[in-house]
Amino acid sequence: MAAAAPPLVPTPEATALPSQPLFARVRLATSSDVPHIHKLIHQLAIFERITHLFSATEASLSSTLFNSPPFQTSTIFILELSSTPLPPTTTPLFFSPITQIITLDLPIDDPERETFKSNDKDGGSDTVVGGFVLFFPNYSTFLGKPGFYVEDLFVRECYRRKGFGKMLLSAVAAQAAKMGCGRVEWVVLDWNVNAIKFYEEMGAKVLHEKRVCRLTGQALQAYANPAN
């Protein structure tokens, strides 16, 4: 009688979970994105523990953003994510969207999927907003060149540590290089060691010898009537 066949041992290939593609796109924000931008800024304020300073409204954002062509004043890139290929955008006039496919072992559980469902007409039915970066032009007298200052960079919690923050910041850097800018700069909270390490790994130099100075609120309004 023939010997019994040995039990089959699953190979790593056989036991591996099927990959889960996630389609990502960085595009220019439009006025239709204001509700999502407002919610993202509020989440950023929570993360930075400064909700007591948060006073922006959808109305104030709508009235102060998107009044000039991109890159001449405050500009926002939006991060969109979808489990299916994103349709081509129809508004590449000022900026051609950057796309990337991320392969995941498991799908991401997004508890705010419905809240952040994309309002963009070029988004698919399951497209969500995952983050944003807001920046504006500045100028370096030492370099004799314009640059960009990044005011806010934020990725929602469930999408962090997957390369999307780098994707957003890289889009700003690429646009700066394309326009012949001298530098891109921003500030980072000294307690956010993960962000500091992330920026240094991207090649950024963290300047410890500088401090941020700010006039705001009543201190700023005191200059409204300089004659007094």
Could you read off the pLDDT of 52-91 as tens digits, one per residue? 999 999 999 999 999 999 999 999 999 999 999 998 876 6
> Which token pair is 185?
């700069």
Question: What stretches of the chain adopt beta strand conformation (E)?
Answer: 20-28, 75-82, 98-104, 128-140, 145-155, 184-185
Closest CA to 112 of 132, 128, 123, 133: 128
Give the separation between CA 101 and CA 23, rounded to whole angstroms: 5
Convert the pLDDT of each residue in 115-152 to its tens digit: 999 876 655 578 999 999 999 999 999 999 999 999 99
Give domain 17-221's CATH superfamily: Gcn5-related N-acetyltransferase (GNAT) (3.40.630.30)
Residue pair 101/149 in contact by the 8 Å Cβ criterion: no
Residue 15 has pLDDT above 50, yes or no: no
Residue 225: predicted pLDDT: 80
Across 46-51, average pLDDT: 96
**Catalytic (active-site) positions:** 199
Residue pair 95/26 in contact by the 8 Å Cβ criterion: no
Closest CA to 78 of 134, 126, 22, 39: 134
Domain boundaries, the chain: 17-221
Convert the pLDDT of each residue in 169-203 to its tens digit: 999 999 999 999 999 999 999 999 999 999 999 99
Distance of CA 195 to the CA centre of its chain: 13
Host H or E run for residue 38: helix 34-47
Q: Binning pLDDT at 50, 70 and 90, where does residue 4 land?
A: low
Closest CA to 134 of 210, 6, 40, 206: 40
For the chain, percent of residues with pLDDT exceeding 90: 80
Residue pair 45/135 in contact by the 8 Å Cβ criterion: no
Q: Binning pLDDT at 50, 70 and 90, where does residue 13 land?
A: very low
Query: Integer distance in angstroms from the first to the last C-alpha of the chain?
Result: 109
